[in-house]
Amino acid sequence: MTRPRDTPKGSTGLEVRAAAARGLTPVLKDQGSLAGLDEHSVVARDRGLLKELCFGTCRHLPRLEALAGILLRQPFKKRDQDVQALLLLGIYQLLYMRIPAHAAVGETAGAARLLDKAWATRVLNGCLRRLQRESAALQAQVDRDPSVALSHPVWLLSALKEAWPEQWRALAEANNQPGPMTLRVNARHGHRETYLKALAEHGMEGRLCPHAPDAITLETPCDVATLPGFKAGRVSVQDEAAQLSAVLLGPVLAPRPGARVLDACSAPGGKTAHLLEQFDIALTALDSDSERLSRVEDTLERLGLHAELHHADASQRGEWSQSEFDAILLDAPCSGSGIIRRHPDIKRLRRPSDITRLAALQARLLDNLWPLLVEGGTLLYATCSVLPEENAEQVSAFLARTPDACITTPGDVAWGQPSGAGRQLFPRQDSHDGFFYARLEKRTATDTF
């Protein structure tokens, strides 16, 4: 169950529910994601509620849709997906939020008028009141299906079962919880223990993360603008698992000032910035999405850091590939199956065919980048996935066709578990996201014989 939130004091709630329905409609139509959610479509006091309504509904979407299917006498027409969104939002509020039932029902049904569909008010009101009356029986009915009970699409739950027969249920349950807000303290501005004291002075509680030496997890998420020293570059938001890339590259980069490093899929720039905060290196950052690359530029500007940025596809050669690199970070495009709790619309938008397509892209990236690594250099392969096709199986296939690649992934660490040539982390409640890492070294010519 998600963390509760009360309706903002003094809010009628109609506008925010209508805005939430508009934000969810592209997801239901498979025409967009929550990345396009316009939080400024409502007043500032309602933005937290808007985000929770949309993200929480997506987080439990398979279960909410199963209940909606029972409550409706017949499905809404395709042109009325915004009304369907309102119904799902209403069910979510009644089952998962601490909003008074009369507000969840009345304001959700009433919001149909703001969508110019007043006819739907009576339908929504009837469905939601029936759910109030028959809640236990209806939930028991839909929960006979494990994929509904665990709010995952059938194909994804099956994939998790096959890949992780002992962990699949805990993994699915972790996906249904919102992830914590974790910070990365800029080592150029001091130690995280000092920053923890600064947080306390501002009335914010946090705890040191056990695996990433620069990480602090907040007890309560907040607006980044309220973080001490955020604008000055003292701290950034980044999950603990993502911060381990700098830890794994540390032994390669720490003793080598001026080392040439490539961040091949760099947006939005968290790992790029972390490497520059930690090491005196010459870093080249690529991304194939110009809009996302601009976020890398903004991040570096806030932190006072510099990298050579290129709008380029790392699966193909270009101007950026004229030199060799001492280290390459390939944070490869993937299914995002390890960060579903932060991007719950993945449950609706991702398809089984995407995994095959992404695995092919990951293989092209590995094959294109490996020749750019100097002898003795290191490539760190990373994904925010928990699916073996993108992780252990991907690296195993690469090793089989690449005789000068050898495994250097550490085995004596306290995080994750061995998975082929790498280590797999699973999403943990109030802890890190799901992630995979494999560290590979390029043998010298004499070592390959």
| 323 phi/psi in degrees, rounded to 5 | -125, 165
CATH code of the region 182-237: 3.30.70.1170
90, amino acid identity: G
5 pLDDT higher than 80: no
Calculate ∠ Cα 87-6-341, nearest 5°: 65
SS3 of 37-99: CCHHHCCHHHHHHHHHHHHHHHHCHHHHHHHHHHHCCCCCCHHHHHHHHHHHHHHHHHHHCCC
Give the whole-number percent of the chain exceeding pLDDT 70: 96
Rounded mean pLDDT, 434-445: 94
Tell me which fold the domain 14-151 belongs to. Answer: N-utilizing Substance Protein B Homolog; Chain A (1.10.940)
Please determine whether the domains at 14-151 and 240-448 fall in the same fold group of CATH: no
pLDDT at 213: 97
Residue 378's nearest CA partner among 236, 279, 237 is 279
For residue 12, pLDDT beyond 90: no
pLDDT at residue 94 tops 90: yes
- The predicted-structure confidence for 29-62, as pLDDT tens digits, reads as follows 999 999 989 988 898 889 999 999 999 999 999 9
Neighbour count for residue 137 (Cβ, 10 Å): 9
Q: What confidence score (pLDDT) does residue 50 get? A: 95
Decide if pLDDT at 11 tops 80: no
The band of 444, judged by pLDDT with boundaries at 50, 70 and 90, is confident
pTM for the structure as a whole = 0.93
Distances, alpha carbon 419 to alpha carbons 164, 202, 359, 384, 386, in Å: 11, 42, 17, 14, 10
Residue type, 196: L
Q: Which of 95, 113, 100, 98 is nearest to 21 (CA)?
A: 113
Q: Give the model confidence (pLDDT) of 403-426 as tens digits.
A: 999 999 999 999 999 999 999 999
| 442 confidence band (pLDDT: 50, 70, 90) | very high
Position 7 pLDDT exceeds 50: no
CATH of 240-448, one of 3.20.20.140, 3.40.50.150, 3.40.50.10540, 3.30.365.10: 3.40.50.150
Mean per-residue pLDDT of the chain: 94
Say if residues 133 and 105 touch (Cβ distance below 8 Å).
no
Query: At residue 3, does pLDDT exceed 50?
Result: no
Backbone angles phi and psi of 59, in degrees to 5: -60, -35
* Cis peptide leading into residue 75 (ω within 30°): no
Is pLDDT at 233 greater than 70 in this prediction? yes
CA distance 398 to 402: 6
What is the tens place of the pLDDT at every residue in 335-381? 999 999 999 999 999 999 999 999 999 999 999 999 999 999 999 99
Q: What is the Cα Rg of the chain in Å? A: 23
Domain spans, the chain: 14-151, 182-237, 240-448
pLDDT of residue 40: 86
Rounded distance, CA 431 to CA 216, Å?
10
Query: Does the pLDDT of residue 9 top 60, yes or no?
Result: no
**Rounded Cα distance, 439 and 449, in Å:** 22
The reported pLDDT for the residue numbered 447 is 65
- Provide the annotated active-site residues: 384
